[in-house]
Structure 1
């Protein structure tokens, strides 16, 4: 298939990478696993047996209404937590084939929806936010945008970091499914497209 390139002639790319059917189930699984991998999983609460305090029975068993053993029960302020949360690992196993398949599926859908634009080169002359805003405005990128380049220049990185409309400026190695799903527009350079095709083929 051919991709239109802004500033150069059309680029031939593989249908196996950029013409895949959209697999919502696979994309959902990979996106969920990617997000879960970033969770700290350090939440911890004290159960009834771990709360400090006496275990002395504070009133008689009978004659006083409800029966209680000690003040560490979950119904009392300062008591333990019923089903207390403990540190855990949220990571899910996703093999390389699944991860690459999900990325190819997302990229293919972005192309079908005309949300992925390929540029011969995408950079700014100075590290100025207004320069990048003007460049994005020329091509009517009014939503949240991701810029993917084989090598990210310092000018482009500095110009984008204070722009709330630019989600990320990344090289091909840092491309991830969560960012792609969130983006309204994806800007990719020709060199980056070639590297992505080589990686996902």
Structure 2
């Protein structure tokens, strides 16, 4: 066991409930295909990272899916807003861990090296953040629970990262920033990646035996 925990927030694979902004341009089914590919990618890059790992589903725990392998603790997100959900997850995580990192499942450019770097930098910093090009962040790491960083925040805006960094400065926290990457929320974001999204099959299965890697 380790004192380090990687938390992964994912959405349940419900058509029309994932990548809603993207779906307006490419349709509900194709948006679901893209999200399935993103989840597959997130699973792939986290499998061999030697820390404890926990997946937090948006609605309910999936049975026998790509995460149900015994290598990930399976949970459901608790709270009404994204801020509440992340804050609760961090609060519970620090009951048994000293270094905690959270990621989502929207960043196709994220890799194992960056996640490992985040944990390394928590040995020297209070906070580690992965800036997203849209003004948010794709990763957040803490060496202690800091609930104030999640209070009164409006997520999915271009000021999320700026507000976080300003608050960290007010609290006199040391912060390490990782490389800036792009989350996939729009068609423009998608076109900037090397994902072959147009050829993703509508009937693709998301399980460990059919990963295209």
Bucket of the pairwise TM-score, normalised by the shorter protein: under 0.3
Q: TM-score of the superposition, structure 1-length normalised?
A: 0.24
**Highest Rg: 1 or 2?**
1
Q: TM-score of the superposition, structure 2-length normalised?
A: 0.23
